[in-house]
Amino acid sequence: MSDEMSDGMSNEKSDERIRIFDTTLRDGEQSPGCSMNLNEKVTLGKQLEKLGVDIIEAGFPIASEGDFGAVQAVARELREPIVCGLARTGSADIERAAQALEEAKKPRIHTFIATSDIHLEHKLRMSRERVLEEVDRAVRQARGYVDDVEFSAEDATRSDRDYLVDVFGIALEAGATTLNVPDTVGYTTPQEYAELIAYLKERVPGSDGAVFSVHCHNDLGLAVANSLAAIAAGARQVECTVNGIGERAGNTSMEELVMAMKTRRDVFAGIDTGIATNEIYPSSRLLSAITGVMVQPNKAIVGDNAFAHEAGIHQDGVLKAPITYEILTPASIGKASNELVLGKHSGRHAFRERLLELGFELEVEEFERAFQRFKDLADAKKTIFNEDIEAIVADMVESAEDRFSLGELSITCGTFGKPSATVEIVVDGEARKTTALGVGPVDAIFKGISELTETKSHLEKYQVHAVTSGLDALGEVSVTVSEEGRRVIGRGAHEDVLVASGKAYVHALNKLEWHKRRREVEAPKGI
């Protein structure tokens, strides 16, 4: 093993350090509407690197060409975190994961198989003995490719404890370095989970040499509580996602877990993560921008209302002494205060500084585009808030793989005559134009776009909200569009809400196109 490798090896970190294993790009991506294309995964991966996560699970290479390419690209681009690819125990899965990780500086193969009798009987149709053989073979095969191998016992919390001891013992002997105990269906409770971790740590032969990891789903709203309880019982890796996105009710929310540990240092006595907490808010916003999935306003830590004191008695207290009602500050998660930041006379330097403060580091060409958008907005709108700048940047996350882009748009509407929209769409580099009529202006725009893109998709939801207060606020539109059972969310922001609507629709159609191009093979169920 090289020095670089051993540096990155999770089990060589101090026992007081909790490794943050981020699975936003894999389990997170499995939540409805949260799928990401290759560029989006790389963009988010770079932000996760800034955030300081220890391990990034970039995807499931055998699941599709798209997943393979994304894992490969993330592995190539990121040098700091360990980059991990998921694999079932089948030999083809592991080989594919190893291929995707070839260029990674710190590669990890994460292999898993279900261990509960429920899954063995109804899903795998395998005996317990057969599963033990699979574990042994898969971990050995993975170790043939990389030094860092994680093994997960899917549905561990509904598995027989003593059988789990055998399973993990075999995984460890075969060379696994991290043993993950997933609460796949979000079924366990904090006390029960802590007891399970303690039981396994005590009984699995050689467990001192492994890092115990936890992976919780939020079906009963207990994912963060369960993960924290497991840490208290000795788990030293937590698998989580930004904004808590993930299969069904989601995974452990990274920001909630990290801030709970930071805020209650007294309870977690010296145990900490390596997360740069001032990158939490930018990461949350970037994910929302990429997926179009906004966080609920009352979401802990990153929700819009997380720091809003509404009751007079609270406001009075906070003004007198913040400690009365404030246990953490917006600044600690990198959320800048909502003050007037820039105006139409601000130059490139001030704009770049503000972007950096908000956590955005843009390439030259991206910066120029963002600056131009900022100038246009500053011409149209007197006061520019941080939220406006975040929306501008979020709006620019577009991909080189996009088939469509919105060109010119002109709308006629009002009480006289039928609303109409003249729309220009660039399709595969070729500009097309049409004029369409609609029940309202948005309907007319969407009809025009549908005609030019020849989409067969169906619009399910249209939502609009103002990014800041005031009549000149930037409008942010999100649309949910579906086709052949695939549902995606597109978003767009603009000072003109009709333009934002067009952008959001085109964004969604590009996502659908990307899915069509992605040659999917049957992905395993139940993860």
Residue numbers of the site for ligand KIV (CB under 6 A)? 27, 112, 152, 154, 180, 182, 184, 215, 217, 527
C-alpha distances in Å from residue 440, one per residue of 109, 187, 333, 406: 52, 47, 41, 19
27 binds Zn ion (CB under 5 A): yes
Residue type at 35 in one-letter notation? S
If the CB atoms of residues 155 and 476 are measured against ligand KIV, the closer one turns out to be: 155
Q: Which is nearer to Zn ion, 34 or 377 (CB)?
A: 34
The item of Zn ion, ligand KIV, none sharing an interface with residue 112, based on CB under 5 to 8 Å by kind, is: ligand KIV
**Tokens 């860092």 sit on residue:** 148
Distance CA 178, CA 171 (A): 9
Q: How far is the CB of 250 from ligand KIV (least distance, A)?
A: 11
Q: How far apart are the C-alpha atoms of 266 and 263, rounded to whole Å?
A: 8
Contacts of 352 (CB under 8 A, 6+ apart): 367
Judged by beta carbon, residue 223 or residue 506, the one nearer ligand KIV is 223
> What is the C-alpha separation between 473 and 381, in angstroms, rounded?
7
Q: Which is nearer to ligand KIV, 27 or 388 (by Cβ)?
A: 27
Q: Which amino acid is at 424?
A: E
Judged by CB, which is closer to ligand KIV: 176, or 452? 176
Give least dist CB 527 to ligand KIV, A. 4
Over its C-alpha atoms, the chain yields an Rg (Å, rounded) of 24
Residues 6+ apart with CB under 8 A from 13: 19, 54, 236
| Residue 476 binding Zn ion, by CB under 5 A | no
**Which one, 154 or 513, has the nearer CB to ligand KIV?**
154
Which residue number has the CB closest to Zn ion?
27
Question: Rounded to whole angstroms, how far apart are CA atoms 197 and 192?
Answer: 9
**Least distance to Zn ion, CB of residue 460, Å:** 26
What does 154 interact with, of ligand KIV, Zn ion, none (CB < 5 to 8 A by kind)? ligand KIV
Which conformational region is residue 426 in: left (phi greater than 0), alpha (psi within -120 to 50 degrees), or beta?
Answer: beta
Q: Report the partner that residue 284 touches, choosing among ligand KIV, Zn ion, none (CB closer than 5 to 8 A by kind).
A: none
- Residue 393 identity (one-letter amino acid): V
Residue 399 interface partner, choices Zn ion, ligand KIV, none, CB cut-off 5-8 Å depending on type: none
Q: Give the binding range for Zn ion (CB under 5 A) out of 21-29, 257-265, 445-453, 495-503.
A: 21-29
- Taking the complex as a whole, the smallest distance from the CB of residue 168 to ligand KIV amounts, in Å, to 14
For 78, residues 6+ apart whose C-beta sits below 8 A from its C-beta are 45, 46, 49, 56, 105
Cβ of residue 82: shortest distance to ligand KIV, in angstroms? 16
Using CB under 5 A as the binding criterion, the count of chain residues that bind Zn ion stands at 1
Shortest Å, Cβ 8 to ligand KIV: 20
Give 108's strand partners.
Answer: 84
CA distance 241 to 245: 6
In the bound state with ligand KIV, the residue whose beta carbon lies nearer, of 182 and 419, is 182
d(CA 334, CA 323): 19
**Smallest separation, CB 526 to ligand KIV (Å):** 8
- Tell me which residues touch Zn ion (CB under 5 A): 27
